[in-house]
Amino acid sequence: MRELIILILGLIVCIQLCNGEENITHSDVLLNKPVPVCKPACDLHANCTTKGCVCHTGYEMVHNKCTAKCSKSCGPYGICISPEICGCYTGYRPNKKTHKCEAHCNPPCGANAFCSEPDICTCNRGYLDKHGVCEPVCTKKCKDKSHCIAPDTCSCPLGFEWDQSHEKCIPKCTPKCGLNSYCQKPNKCKCRLGYRPNDGMSLSCYFSYPWWVYLMVAVLALTLVGSISVLIYCCIARSGNVNYYPNSGFSDTTQIIQ
């Protein structure tokens, strides 16, 4: 009789399992506990309980079906295929940082461009495609020797820098030119008109007079020296002679010049 009861209970359990009911154990049947019945049967990612189908961890119930849950959106080009894992559509791949599915380009896009659609590269904002290369666009034409290096950003070429008014590119010298000199070419200083370099690099210069100035100074100096010499000689010669004055009280006739 006991064997018959066990056989009947086993048949009941088998029938319930075949109907998709879960979480049923032999102890539940033997203890005559209420066995949960889920109709329709729960899917692979859910357990049948007395409260109905309960999704496994990482899944959520959507339209009576347990669907994988991703805390970060997969974007418009992907779908959450398992907990925290996005599955992307053909031509798209998940971004490692955002986890969203983004278009994939092969070969990868070059500088200043992004993959807008599968295998289609588009220039970033402020750049224009020129022969397959995204180049920056300056709405205002760059002045003088400068060229456009970024959207609406002009820069002087290598070896040049902007002047104080930011209107013209001038040569740049490193180190800077010294006193009375200026930067003529990149890293090339030159003395101003009338000056000569103090060293081979012309970092500083001194004023140099033309040759005729030195000649005039020399002539003036010689003339001045000569005039002073003549004046001194005349004074010495005059003091060596005594003049005779008849109406004076001078009585020594031995000093009178005949």
pLDDT at 160: 94
pLDDT at 240: 60
- pLDDT tens, 28-78? 544 555 667 788 888 888 998 888 889 999 999 888 889 999 888 888 899
CA atoms within 13 A on the CB side of 27: 1
Say if 52 falls within a structural domain.
Answer: yes
Say if 85 falls within a structural domain.
Answer: no
- pLDDT tens, 165-186? 888 999 999 888 888 889 999 9
| Secondary-structure percent of the chain, ordered helix, strand, coil, rounded to 5 | 20, 30, 50
Say if 44 falls within a structural domain.
Answer: yes
Instruction: Name the domain boundary from 64, 83, 105.
Output: 64
- pLDDT tens, 211-257? 677 778 888 888 888 888 888 878 887 666 555 445 555 555 555 45
pTM metric for this prediction: 0.49
Say if 40 falls within a structural domain.
Answer: yes
Say if 251 falls within a structural domain.
Answer: no
pLDDT at 91: 93
pLDDT at 57: 92
Q: How many domains in the chain? A: 2
What per-residue string of b and e applies to 162-176 under the rule 16 or more CB within 10 Å gives b?
Answer: beeeeeebbbbbeee
Structural domain span for residue 203? 173-207
For residue 114, is pLDDT > 90? yes
Say if 42 falls within a structural domain.
Answer: yes
What per-residue string of b and e applies to 220-241 under the rule 16 or more CB within 10 Å gives b?
Answer: eeeeeeeeeeeeeeeeeeeeee
